[in-house]
Structure formats: C-alpha cells, structure tokens
A and B are shown apart, each in its own frame.
Chain A
Amino acid sequence: MKLRRSDQKIQPPPVRSVTKPNLVWPSFLRLFRYSIRPFKATIGAVVLYGGVFTSAVHAQPHVVGYARFHSEKPTKEGGALLFSELACANCHGGSPVKISRKGPNLIDLGQRIERDWLVKFLRKPESGRKGSTMPSMLHGLKDGQIEAVVAFLGKRGKGIKFRTERHANAERGSALYHEKGCVACHAPTVDFKSPHGNGDSFDLALAISHPDLNAKTSLEALGLFLRDPSKYRVDGRMPHIQLNTQEAMDVAAHLMDFQASDPREAVSVKEWPKVGVKLVAEGKALVQKMNCAACHSIPEVTPLDVIPLKSTGLTHCLSSEPQAGTPHYKLTKSQRESLILFLEAQDEIEDKTGHLTLSAMNCYACHDRNGVGGPSPDTNRFFVGNEALGDSGRLPPPLTGIGHKLKRDWLIGALAGEPEKGVRPYLKTQMPAYAAHASTFADWFVKIDQKDGVRTLIDRPDDLEAGRKLLGINGGVNCITCHNWGDQKALGIPALDLSSLNERLQPSWFRSYLLNPAEYRPGTLMPSFWPEGHSSIKDVLEGDSERQIGAIWKFIKNGEGLPEGFANRLGGQFELLPRDRPIIQRTFLEKTGTKAILVGFPGEVHLAFDGDSGFLSMVWRGRFFDAYDTWFTRAAPFGQPLGDEVYEVPKPGTKGRFRGYELDEGGNPTFIVNRGGREFRERFSVAEGQLIREVRWVEGDPPKLRHPKNVLKSEASGENILTYTYFWK
C-alpha cells in the first residue's frame, strides 16, 4: 500500500496569541505569511499549523490512520480502525486492534483544566479540539444537568501538587518539539525552518491538532502532563516521550507561547466554583448512566456491561441525530460507510499483519512496516540525526519483521523505552515508552512475524578467528569502517554498535539481513557483501558465505577481543616529534580555529599561526601535538597543544589576508600576510629554547603586533624589520 496524500492542502490555521486569543488572520494574509517565511515572520506570536479551528468544517473525528490509508473510499479495514479509535469497542466489544483506545483519566480536572473550556468541550467536542474523537454526549441534557456532570468531574482525584521549575524556555522547547518527534504527529510551527529544505507548505491531513492550550490548561499543568502523559493517557495514543521535567516545561512554554522565563508568571487554572453535595451526586448518576467509564478511568464510577450490537442495530450511534444518551459522532459519509462495512464483516477481520494496530497507534508516523507508512514527505524533513549515515541516521528504523528480528526481551525493553535498549544514539527522535503495553505488543509482534523454515547459522568452534578477520579491515568485509564496536569508534561513519548485536538480534534474521541488507532496510548505506549469496571474500573460510556469516556471529557472541584493524593508539605513535627540523601541520585547533597552522620546533617551543586572521595565535612549550585526530578521525575534532605551558596571543581587531608560507633551508617558516594592501613577512625560529620572531615589510609604518601573554620578550628594530625574542621566567 502506498502513502496517499490528501488532495487538498489545508491552509495554515489562524494565528494564536496570548494577548489576542483566537486572533483570526484573513486568508490572504496567511498566504502572505507563507511566502515570506524564509525571512522570518515579524509577527510575534507562535503559529502552529494545527492551531485552533473554531469552524465546524472540522467537526468530523480525525483519526490519522484513517486519513492516511482509507480516505479515498470506504473500506471495512478503515471501519475497523474507526471502530477502535472512536472507542466504539469500549461499549460494544469486538475490536481487532490490539491496544484499546481509551479516553484520558478524569482526575484532578479542577487543578488541570479550565472549567469554561471543559464545558465548551463537552457541549461540542470539536470546538475544544479540532478533530476530537470524543463524541458529543450531552445532547438532550438540560443546562443544570451539564453543570452537575462538570461539578462531579471537578471533584475527582486527590489534588495534584505542581512542582514549579525555575525556568521555562520556549525557544529550547521549540527545538525539542521539532526534534524529538512531536512533529511526526503534530504540525510544526510555521516559522520553524526545517533542517532539510525549505518546504513552504505542510499537509495538515495527517497532523493531530492541539486544542487552544491557553484556553484549556495552564503552563504548569501542561508541563506536568508532558512529563508523563501515560499518567493521564493510558492508551498510548499520546505516548510517553521521556522528557525530563525541564524539557517538559520548555515544550509546554513553546506550545503556549510563553515568552517569560519564570513559570510563576504564567496564568494558573482559574479556581472552579464551589458546588453542593447534591449537585455532585446528581452528576455522578449522570456520568454513570452515560457510561463515561467505558472510556475514561473515573474514580467511583464503573463501566457498564458490554452492549451487544445486535441489541442496538446498525444505526443507533451512527444516526446523524442520535437520541439523548447515545454518543453523537459527526462522521463523514465515508467514515459512516466504512463503519457499516466493518460491522457487516466484524467477525472476519483480524489484524494479521499489524497494519490496523500500527495505524491506530500511529507508529506509522515514524516507522515503515512492510513498505507502508513511515514519515510523510512533509514530516520527513523534520527528522534529524547523523546525516553521514544517510536516512538510516535520522529516520527511525522500519518495523518490518520486527518480531522476527529482535529477541523478545530486547523488544519488550525497546517498547518500554528502556534507555539501554536504544542502540541509535544518533537519532534525535525519541522512541516513546509504552511501558504498560510493551509485553502485549512484543508477544504479538513475535506471533505475527513468525517465519517458518528459517535457516540457522553455522556454528563451528574453529571459525572464531575468521570472524575476527571478517569484521575487520585487513582482508575482511570492513564492518568496523562503519560500525562502532563498544567503546571503539568506527573508522568511518559511526553506525550502530556491533559488539552487543547478539543480545538484540535473532541469529536467523542476522543471516538473512547480511545476505541482502536493502531488502530489510531500503535505502540503507550498508553494502551487500554477499550479493546473491556469493561472498566477496574468497580467501576466508574458502569463500563459504554461510560459514563466514556464522563466524562473524560467533566472534560477536564470544565477546572477547577486537576485530582486526583498529589502530593501536597506545605509545603515542601519532605524536609529532620535531627532532631535526620543524614540523608543520595544519589542523582544526581549539581557540585558534579551522585554519590553524602548527609549527613544532626542536627545542620544545611551538606555535600556532592563524591562517584565517593572519596572526600568531598561540605559543606553547613542552610536547608538540598528537596528529591522530587530524590524520585519521573522520569527525575531525578540534585538536589542542600537547604541552601544558600554553601562552595565548590576544586576537587582533582587524584580520590580515593570509597568503601562505615559505620554508628556509632549516625548515623554519616565514608567513606571508597582506594587511591593508601591504605585504608583511613573519619568520619564526627557535634558538636556545627561545622563540625568535622577525617581521619584515617593504615600506611604511611597522605593523601593530600582539604578543603571547605572560611571556618575557626583548625587541630589536632596524629598517623595515622588527625582531622579538620570547623567553620564559
């Protein structure tokens, strides 16, 4: 199945601002905002694509999986998804979706939710949140009865205590919101520049809208919710994304456009009015009668028994004007038809491939499975990580055959969000924690992904050494060029750690994957070293592919020793030792910059010249420089002097233009710098442990030079020449 996109691009929503709630921009202005986006909008408010819609146009419940896979025509599978996600199954039973849809836990509403918002929401859910899947339940109730329901709900819970952070940084929150994966399900902020490309539209059909959060809740309450959504949202649809308290407050500040930094300045939820015992009791009776507890956990209220569909007929809840006490879903024609198709075939629909459950949980927002789902073209550009690894370095892995790929315990840990089960530190997107559902999910994946007749690995004790060679770079298949090995960094791109692979993977999957990586991970940078089963290495284990793969597994599982080819860095063998002549090495150097030219002299005095500004940058004594990172480390980290006696030279105000250097017979450099149209030549040499600096120019005033701090110097001048000798206390 291919991803289909809504034909209709939804225009950006109205701007929401703190000072002018629900400010609505005329449509032509919104378009204008789009066109000027690259140049940063001048309007102060945070604008979310998925901001509040007050229009009834979006009254229909929005189920992402339905919009993504079933919006073209009614299908029974689409109906099955709606049956689960509109929570029909909570009253009627019989959903093929593995994890039940539930509403939020209705506790502590009085501390967390604005009463006015809740009343509005209960009367008309889509006015509280566009696309809400909550049906209208209160039609036919009198105003007084609604008051009673709200009064009862406001009394549930034990009363939470907010722990106020000292800071909430909306800017940091924006970075987290866009990088952690929130935008896989929710719309990005309009003026956030996506890391990949400057796409200037965003299809809202797959974005779950936010309510007007300033109208609904408070900064503290939202922060608390984001810290651990599973406390209130037990069904995993809004998953636990493992933010710490500070991060949660930052994201809340971003979502509420809270520009002050002290959360104590934020508006709290207004105190709910006092209510009488009688009203609360009346509310409880109504809540019980309407069977709110079928979907919501509410203290003191229990769900009713399952209501067989046979007793209600097909049109009961599906009517466009249902009776009082019956849920009212503002379904589209297609949604209604899908539900009817499902109900007619309810018994025969099972989730054999996982497609329904993954659609329901919106795992597809991040993951592909069997070629279905994964980031949409619009969300794709927000996924970031280590781009050296290609898309594998920034997109979450596919879930194709995941129950066959991972060992059960590892899968449970990964689904529960255990940090040590995350093997892709380079992905910025956070895998949510589904702690309550992890083992159910894992067992089910294992069941549906089971494969018959898989080949196991050849296991021969003698092949251990061959495994070591094959993993390495000397006559092997170069695994460690791209893969980390425990603490040892890969020689090239830093793909995931191989040393613990046997703890994660099923051996049979490992075998199949090595034989054809692209089949399991389309677009992977991993080459096929055994194309069509033929090894590219003929002289190890007689070129026998099966034995070679078995040997690699064996070496990893054995857990002793390193693959062949990691450089031996012990013994300082990459330390540059100027013995007879100066050694010159260009490099990235901390404090000096990206155009540093290091000169190491015999005599243990060394310097760094800045090829960017054209000035002496640093002088040091003792050992010179370890060139390992400059020569071999792919990430090219900035180096630093080895000697511990370092004397910095203050940065100049005006840059010169560096034009190169010349070496004399002894290898001493003369740097050539153009300053203000005049050429200056600066020669450095070392004699008797003292650094000698001679500056020559053709005509005009001498240059203004800066000197290493805390160094003694003597000065001599002649015609168009200045000589400084630096020495030490």
Chain B
Amino acid sequence: MKILTAVWATIAVITLSVSAEEVTPAYEVFELMSASSPSDSRSKEWQPGDGITMEVSGMAWFKESLAVAIRKGEIWLIDSPLSLDKENITYRKFASGLHEPLGLTADGDDLLVSQRGEITRLKDSKGDGTADAFLTECDGWNVSGNYHAYAYGPERDGANNLWVTLNLGMGALTNNRIGWRGWGGTIGEDGAFQPKSLGMRSPSGMGRDLAGEMFFSDQQGTWIPATPIYHLRPGVFYGNQESVESLKMPGAPFQMASFPKANVPYPEALSSAPRFVPPAVWLPYNKMGRSATDIELIDQDGRFGPFDGQLLVGEFTNSAINRVFLEKVDGEYQGACFPFMRGLPAAVIRLCFSPQGQLFVGMTNRGWSSLGNRSYGLQRLDYSGSTPFAIQEMRAKPDGFELLFTAPIDAATLSDTAFAVSSYTYKYSSAYGSAEILTKQHAVSGLVVADDGKTVRFRVAEMRALFVHELRTSGIQSTSGAKLEYPNAYYTLNRIPK
C-alpha cells in the first residue's frame, strides 16, 4: 500500500534536555502520520493518515505489526512500523463497524477490543488478514445511550486478569444508578463483567507495573480534585460518589458502611470512610497537565533510556507525556511524577511499546481540545542512546527525600536554594476539581550528595502524610553542563516511611 503525502517525510526532533545544541537529543521523533491530508474518510482511496479520522483510541503489538484502533470504529494493522523509511510502512484494515473502540489488547492470535457495550474478541480464522468473527468476550454493564459512558480496556495484569473500566455518564441520557458506571472490574470466566471496585469518573487509561499490579488514571472533575493515578485492585472506593448506586445491584462484590465526608480536606475525607483510598500519585492540575490517559510501563532494559520500571502516562490537553516513579511504603504504592516530553502534535491518548523498545504515541483531539494543533497523529519515539539529564527517582525518607539524577551533578550548582519544598492537598467535594489547599512551605536542610554524584539526600521539616510534596529545583546542572528541562517533581506522600 502506497503512502504518499510529503508532509510525513519529516523527522521532527524534540529534545529532552535543552542544553548545548550539539548534544544529541535523547529521543528522536518519527512521525508516521498526521492530520493534514485533504481527502476524507469516505473516499475509496482513503487510508489512515488521509483525511481527518486517524484518531488513535487503542494500540497493541500484534504478531509483527502494530494494531491501531481508531475512534471511528476501525482497526488497522501497520506493517513494518519500525522502519525508518515511510515507503516501507504499510497499512491493512483488519476490522470495521465497531462502536467507539477505546482499548485494544492482543490475546494470542486474536485481538480483544472494547466497544460501548462489550469487549469483543476478533478472530481471523481464515488467515486472510481481516477479522471474520466478532465474538462477545465480556458484557454486562449498562449502556444508557449517554455519549460519555465509555468502556476502556481490556488490560492484562501480571496474574492474567483482564481489566475493564467504565466511564460515568455525564449529561443527557445519563444513568449512573445501574450497571456499574464508574466501576472497574475483570472479565469473568463466563464472559460476565466482574465488578471489583468503584468511585471512578473517567478512567481512560490502564497499565501494569513491573510487579504485574494494575494502575489506572482518572480525570479531574466532580469528586476528583486533581489528576490521579490509582492502584487498581478489588474492594476499594476511589472517591467519586456518582458510582455508588450500583452497590444496590445483585452482584455487588461488597457494601460500603458509609461514604466519605464531603467538603473537607482530602486527608480528613480519607479517614471518614472505610475502603476509600488515595491515588498512588497525584498529578497536580496545570503543573503536570490536565488530563491523564494511557499508562505504559517502561520495561526495556535500557533500550528506552534510564527509566526502566517507571510508568509513562499520556497527557491529553497539554499534548504531552508524563513519567511516574512508584515505590511501596508500608505495602502501599506512592511516588512522584515528572514531565517527560511536551510539544506533541495532538492530545496523547494511547502509548504502546514495540518489542524492540520504541514507543508509539497515539493521539487525537477528538472531543476536547489540546495544545497540539493537529487533530490527530501517530508518532514513534526512538531512544538515541544519549542519556537525558533528569530527576530519575524521588524517594521518600523518614525525614526528607532522596533524589537520583540520571547523571552526576555539578556540586557547585547546588546552592542553598537549589531545593524548595511545599506541600498541599485538595478539597474532597462534589465540585469540579479543587484548588490546592492548606499549602505550606517547608524548610530544607542537610543536603548530602553521595559518592556516585547522582544521589542527593535532604531533610524536609514537618513533612505531612497524605499531602502532595512539591519539589522545585533551581540552577542544578550536570557535570557536563546540562540543565534540567523539567526542574520540578511532585511526590504524593501518602505515608511517611519509618
């Protein structure tokens, strides 16, 4: 299949570090397609990349190809997607007629795809490269006809559970009182949806960590004061009270003795009802973007840079990608978030690694706006081997934090004001988002740089459990003179280590 358009022929470059110009950028951006072709999707000649509709909504590595679901309801197989020459990259339509697919997972020789009303197994039994069986893999949630009642997934955890999350309805035809809206669950053996936990709002992205535990992102809005990344697991409540009516349905896995107190600071609300859990990480609104989407684990043995074991998180409004470092304290996940890359051409909604360690970034501005000025895009990020200068890890300590940088730092740049820490929380209420509240500045002291030159410890006075601790660095440079492009980090200190 021939791919033309000259617009594609550029390899854009976005650098992670904005140091001296001669430094090789850490990630090279290869654009597979963009929204600038004049033909439309109903033309006989239409291919993804033409027209306005290559709006990525799901991605999975499938056999030797990249499978891409698009909002319009089609699945395309992209062959040779790792090629450096666009002429070699070809496109095959695998399936069509689907109802708003928003998730895609390979399962052996089949693909599993979410539609509004079900998870569907797509089989190519004749082996001709197109799906000929569309079998219901899982159903059992209510579909009221409200446009916002999306279904996401499935996503596989380390124990082979396939997770599905269900968006709340919002606006006309909404019915969140029945049918597991605002719930997450797994696919049962009989194909029935097994509700596991509730209190979600718009849980549009899932992904597992190295240990196989599942995480999901949610959207700031009613009951959700800022952008959260939660540990997805059975038996818990994530805070959105618009999902609680389904507890009255047969099949509810548990009951809640009480619901959290509203209009109080988040830490107080958390202690006011059992099962109510905080996010592992808050992504402070505006500072880290506005709308988290897909979660993708970096498990590439260094082929994607120094961030193995961490999670990448798509960012819709700001057309960006963020990075999350997690650690366990008292058996519960918490950690820090950092910006990873900005300036992508459209809203980032799906992320997918190739088996060789290249990251595909699927984008669409569908439904909301973003800073990206293309309506969709599909790009590939290839690691150049040049280590970006960044805060790689931020760990909580009983009396402060420990930072690991990706490269040795220049001790001369560590001034007294190199690290500033403030903390805040949010108000838990039915209102749409919350300002940061109870903000406090903390004294920082006891700066120690380890022998490796990359590890820095410092003490923070009066750290507060369940508060976000915002770290602002200034002036820090690596020994080779690189500056931090993203000097700040945000640690969600649910528990202070002992």
Contacts and interface: CB of A to CB of B under 8 A. Distances in A.
A567 B375 CA distance: 12
Contacts of A636: 100, 145-147
B432 interface: yes
Contacts of A634: 147, 366-367
A84 interface: no
B431 to A, nearest CB: 5
B369 interface: yes
B368 A481 contact: yes
A476 interface: yes
Interface in A378-422: 378, 380-381, 386-388, 390-391, 394
A631 B73 contact: yes
Contacts of B375: 473-474, 478, 481, 565
A478 B97 contact: no
A517 to B, nearest CB: 11
A354 interface: no
B8 interface: no
Contacts of B318: 527
A568 B118 CA distance: 32
Contacts of B365: 473, 478, 481, 492
Contacts of B431: 196, 377, 380-381, 391
A382 to B, nearest CB: 10
A584 to B, nearest CB: 4
A444 interface: no
Interface string A577-619: 0000001111110000111010000000000000110000000
Interface residues of A, number: 67
A113 B374 CA distance: 65
Contact of B433 (A391, A474, A492): A391
Nearest to A395: B432
A398 to B, nearest CB: 14
Contact of B136 (A475, A491, A523, A660): A660
A586 B371 contact: no
A491 B376 CA distance: 13
Interface in B115-165: 115-118, 120-121, 131-136, 139, 143-148
Given A474-B36, A529-B371, A536-B373, A587 B99 contact: yes
A659 B136 contact: yes
Contacts of B369: 478-479, 481-482, 492, 527
Contacts of A388: 148, 170-171
Given A527-B318, A584-B97, A594-B117, A199 B262 contact: yes
B368 A492 contact: yes
Interface string B239-252: 00110100000000
A344 to B, nearest CB: 37
Given A587-B99, A631-B53, A381 B368 contact: no
Contacts of B242: 196-197
Contact of A585 (B42, B73, B259, B368): B73
Contacts of B223: 196-197
A17 B383 CA distance: 73
A346 B147 CA distance: 57
Nearest to A480: B369
A585 B430 CA distance: 38
Interface string A506-548: 0000000000001000110101010000001100000000000
B457 interface: no
A493 interface: yes
Interface in B327-376: 365-371, 373-375
B97 A583 contact: yes
B145 A492 contact: no
Nearest to A538: B373
A527 B131 CA distance: 40
Interface string B419-450: 00000000001111101000000000000000
Contacts of A659: 135-136, 191
Nearest to B168: A387
Question: Which residue of B42, B72, B98, B148 has the most chain A CB atoms within 10 A of its CB atom?
Answer: B42
Contact of B132 (A482, A631, A662): A662
Contact of B133 (A391, A568, A663): A663
Contact of B373 (A381, A475, A574): A475
Interface string B51-73: 01100000000000000000111
Contacts of A573: 40, 42
A387 B262 contact: no
A272 interface: no
B373 A663 contact: no
Interface in B72-111: 72-73, 96-100
B474 interface: no
Contacts, number: 174
Contacts of B433: 390-391, 523
A476 B373 CA distance: 6
A56 interface: no
Contacts of B172: 635
B26 interface: no
B384 interface: no
Interface in A348-395: 377-378, 380-381, 386-388, 390-391, 394
Interface in A645-662: 658-662
A630 interface: yes
Nearest to B240: A197
Contacts of A612: 117
B366 to A, nearest CB: 7
Nearest to B44: A579
B386 interface: no
B366 A663 contact: no
Interface in B247-271: 259, 262-263
Contact of B366 (A394, A492, A536, A537): A492
A231 to B, nearest CB: 35
Contacts of A67: none
Given A387-B170, A387-B222, A635-B172, A478 B432 contact: no
Contacts of A672: 135
B188 interface: no
B149 to A, nearest CB: 9
Interface string A90-116: 000000000000000000000000000
A198 interface: yes
Contacts of B170: 387-388
A597 B135 CA distance: 13
A477 interface: yes
A638 interface: yes
B492 interface: no
Contact of A493 (B143, B259, B367, B432): B367
Contacts of B370: 478, 527
Question: Which residue of A381, A525, A574, A585 has the most chain B CB atoms within 10 A of its CB atom?
Answer: A525
A634 B150 CA distance: 12
Interface in A460-482: 473-479, 481-482
A378 B62 CA distance: 51
Interface string A651-684: 0000000111111100000001000000000000
Given A197-B222, A479-B369, A611-B117, 15 more contacts: A196-B223, A197-B223, A197-B262, A387-B222, A478-B369, A478-B375, A492-B366, A523-B433, A536-B371, A595-B117, A631-B41, A634-B366, A635-B147, A663-B131, A672-B135
Interface of A: 194, 196-199, 377-378, 380-381, 386-388, 390-391, 394, 473-479, 481-482, 491-493, 518, 522-523, 525, 527, 529, 536-537, 565, 567-568, 573-574, 583-588, 593-595, 597, 611-612, 630-632, 634-636, 638, 658-664, 672
27 contacts: A196-B242, A196-B431, A197-B262, A199-B263, A378-B263, A381-B430, A386-B171, A390-B221, A394-B432, A473-B373, A474-B35, A475-B36, A492-B368, A527-B371, A565-B375, A586-B97, A588-B145, A594-B145, A597-B97, A612-B117, A635-B171, A636-B100, A658-B139, A659-B191, A660-B136, A663-B132, A663-B133
Q: 5 tightest A-B contacts by CB? A: A197-B430, A660-B135, A636-B147, A196-B430, A586-B99
